[in-house]
Structure 1
């Protein structure tokens, strides 16, 4: 999961620069794309992939993710140019293309994914500390939940007072996450053992899963590390040339993808897959310790803690903005469209952190809290991503906005088609259980939509929307029955 901290700071800086008619070069744009995409998830890749697949499966997974996510990035870029007035968030494309209720579900899914993603941050923080203080375990003990809760509410009241972006946070966070990653890659290049690597090619000794099953188990992981990719399109209006945006997007994306592949694949040349799978999170720290000793674990752990705390602040602000903007667009009740004296969306922030607190408590009962949070975050974020790609596909098919630009239609149609297919593939590969758990959030959350429609004295659902809600309600009931019976693992 990536942090909006980097590109939010960039936008603030660029907004003042814009007043002075200053622009960003292609290399500055590329650096911003890289900064917005590299997040905390990368620190967990060695162990997470070790539990799922071998070298070949990992490379196939990243190839699929690379093509799919790049097409999705281009979709955001194209929509930003074709529909510049739709600037209220990811969900606004769903509303424009498919109606109010689908727009609401996209907003609720995106907001829920940020809340669950914030829980994954806390599990990772406490798991990191658990290496040095066993009372925190793998981030899912009572002590871990209590410690995380204290941090949640400290940040909450700090933000309520209007402390939205501390000076220098962005620079510190960026250095904290990039330096340990580059150090890790550099050291593992020298420690690489080709014999160990070849033994892990098709899955490793003692593993006999089919290759597709291995790849499928990594799909939601690859989505998680790319969440926030929509930030790449934000920079378009600051480019020296419009064509620089596409170049920067490709350069930045390819650079980050190469980094992700190296962090994933190089550990296969260090340890057998079975040992990689046993590394505790953050597994990058444990892998580096195998090569250089204890200082490697401490080095990566400190960098991760700084990075994740900075990212959590940014994502908390970002999460609170989603219901606030949805209320402004009449998709959620008016009480969420309120700011305090410091211009903070206070009620939305309270709702966000109460939900984060609730999800955090459930980690006490989860078998693998971090993996559950990771996969559920990915599944929830794919829902709005799918609606965005489908909206771009709809525009291309209906030729809307292409009346004077027919030459670009075929290219953008293919991009939207691949992005839509990728989002569907990821949802299917992630498993029915994750979709059912998502419905368990979306169906009850529809009460917010009911309240909004009643405030506006409008009909709640169209016939098509009644069908969508019915499907969501049935899925939610199925999920609840599955959890109670034990058929769905939590």
Structure 2
């Protein structure tokens, strides 16, 4: 009977690709017009997407290579950090990826309520009391649906992925037909924007990371793949398709409206842009598409959050309680903790000035540390020649690809700025309690290496500085 269940749980190439597309096409793509217009013009946007696209493509190739060369490492993201750098870095990677994904899930609820706020003022910008109550109901409805089974949720995600891409494609087609060359030329260098080109591009970096998060969706679910090679194919296919969509959504509005007008629109700005071009039905159409899209992305990310926590516990990097499954083979304890954390963060948005922007940037900052570990591990095994004994071809290519991915992710952390490094530390420092709990369960030494103690000390100091910044008002949220 067990073997039948396992077969039923296996995912096809199409489902794995849908996990990648479903994870990437969420809240971020609907916010791109305003986010980019507030920072730069088409010229800066093209440069930003070239940097982000190249960097993330290299990271996707690292994921693809590691999936093929290290098939024994399931749940991708954190497993590579542990294999390459030890237990505590492995835990930090798992925890950072998990908590960043939880914060990303909160951004979805904020954007849904902000979308409804355009029609029903009681929802405001997504962080009113009513908005928080409605989001809370949604969180637990999804929670109990997912408890019924991963395969059922994956099927729903595949259907939703198709449904949510349609309004985005319609938006792009209408923008192309409404294209005004003179308007595009006038906006090209950003018009009256202050700051040099580097500063303009730097200001867009965290949002590009946010919209690319999900690229590893197939890698996280590698243990469910019918064929291991499907993981890499799904990652690259999903990446190329979604990148083309995001670039078009960013650039085409510059050809129909003035940059300053786009920058002043409420989120989701894609709806506001379409309304300005075709009338009120455009806002309704995109808003409906957004709600479907974001709910689909929320489903995909709820699955990924629970899966990462479950896999980390199975690998003894998290307390063993999170390695338990229910009768539907869903990591129930991991899902419960995930949604409790999401609920608490949703409540905290009540005190935020721009809850969506905060959640977007913090999600990106938390995810960059795990991505850096993945890229560094890819570089490490290529440099050593590890796993290249039987297939030595491509080692030099993999080395260069991994090096570019390392440089890119390190630059992204720098571009995010001190504020988000400190806010990340506020979460990483206390989060180490879960690691200490897990190590105590195993009767193992908490910090096996001197380097682990140094990393922990840096995280605690950063957390203390971050808390002081929040209390004193030096760090605004």
What TM-score does the superposition give when structure 1 sets the normalisation length? 0.89
Residues 1:108 and 2:115 are matched in the alignment: no
Distance 1:154 1:412, change over 3 A: same
Give, in whole Å, the separation in 2 of the partners of 1:111 and 1:245.
20
For the pair 1:297 / 2:283, whether they are aligned, the reply is: yes
C-alpha distance after superposition, 1:9-42 (max 9, x if no partner):
xx9889477xxxxxx6xx9998886566433321
Map 1:332-347 to 2 at 5 A. Answer: 332-347=318-333
Q: Render the CA deviation track for 1:220-242: whole Å, top value 9, x for unaligned.
A: 111111111123567897679x6
Counterparts of 1:349 and 1:323, CA distance in 2 = 8
Contact 2:9 2:151 in 1 (8 A): no
Farther-moved stretch of structure 1 (65-74 vs 85-94):
85-94
2: CA distance, partners of 1:33 / 1:161: 22
Change in Cα spacing, 1:341 to 1:401, as seen in structure 2 (3 Å) is: closer
Do residues 407 (structure 1) and 384 (structure 2) align? no
Unmatched runs of 5 consecutive residues or more in structure 1? 1-10, 18-23
Q: Which residue of the other structure, out of 228, 239, 249, is the alignment partner of 1:253?
A: 239
Shift of 1:404: 3.9
C-alpha distance in structure 2 between counterparts of 1:248 and 1:62, whole Å: 21
The answer on 1:307 being equivalent to 2:296 is: no
Q: 1:28 to 1:119 in 2, by over 3 A?
A: closer
Residues 49-90 of structure 1 deviation map (CA, whole Å, 9 limit, x = unaligned):
111211111111000011101100100111111111011331
For residues 225-240 of structure 1, the aligned pairs below 5 Å read: 225-231=211-217
Q: Distance in 2 between matches of 1:353 and 1:15?
A: 25
Q: Note the C-alpha offset of 1:164.
A: 6.3
Alignment of 1:212-223 (within 5 A): 212-223=198-209
Residue in 1 that maps onto 2:3: none
Please, which of 467, 471, 483 is the counterpart of residue 454 of structure 2?
467
Cα offsets for 1:94-118 (capped at 9, x unmatched): 0100000000000000101110010
Distance apart, 1:194 and its partner CA: 2.0
Compare 371-380 and 146-155 and name the one that shifted more.
Answer: 146-155
RMSD between aligned alpha carbons? 2.6
Match of 1:325 among 304, 311, 314: 311
Look up the match of 1:484. 471
Instruction: Name the structure 2 match of 1:423.
Output: 409
- Between the aligned partners of 1:133 and 1:81, the Cα distance in structure 2 is 49
Tell me the secondary structure at the aligned position of residue 87 of structure 1: coil
Q: Does the C-alpha gap of structure 1 residues 190 and 304 become closer, same or farther in structure 2, counting only changes over 3 Å?
A: same
Q: 2:93, 2:373 within 8 Å by CA — same for their partners in 1?
A: yes
Name the stretch that deviates more: 226-235 or 29-38.
Answer: 29-38
| Alignment check: 8 A CA contact 1:379 1:427 kept | yes
Shift of the 30–337 alpha-carbon distance from structure 1 to 2, 3 Å rule, reads: closer
- 5 Å-filtered alignment, 1:33-432, equals 37-162=24-149, 165=152, 169-205=156-192, 207-231=193-217, 252-432=238-418
Query: CA shift at 1:403, angstroms?
Result: 3.0
Q: How many aligned residue pairs are there?
A: 469
Going from structure 1 to structure 2, the CA distance change for 1:262 and 1:446 (only over 3 Å counts) comes to same
Distance 2:405 2:191 in 1: 32
- Superposed CA deviations along residues 408-446 of structure 1, whole A, max 9, x for unmatched, are 211100000001111101111011111111111111010
Q: CA deviation at 1:173?
A: 1.2
Q: Do the aligned partners of 1:73 and 1:232 also contact (CA within 8 Å) in 2?
A: no
Compared CA separation, residues 36 and 343, structure 1 to 2 (3 A): closer
Gaps of 5+ in 2: 1-5
Please tell me whether the aligned partners of residues 89 and 325 of structure 1 are also in contact (alpha carbons under 8 angstroms): no
Check the 8 A contact 2:112/2:291 in 1, yes or no. yes
Tell me how far 1:315 sits from its aligned partner. 1.6
Give the direction of change, closer, same or farther, for the CA distance of 1:454–1:35 in structure 2 (3 Å limit): closer
| Residue pairs, 1:430-445, within 5 angstroms | 430-445=416-431
Question: For residues 324 and 168 of structure 1, do their structure 2 counterparts lie closer, same or farther at Cα, with a shift above 3 Å needed?
Answer: closer
- Determine the C-alpha separation between the residues in 2 that align with 1:105 and 1:183: 41
Counterparts of 1:341 and 1:130, CA distance in 2: 40
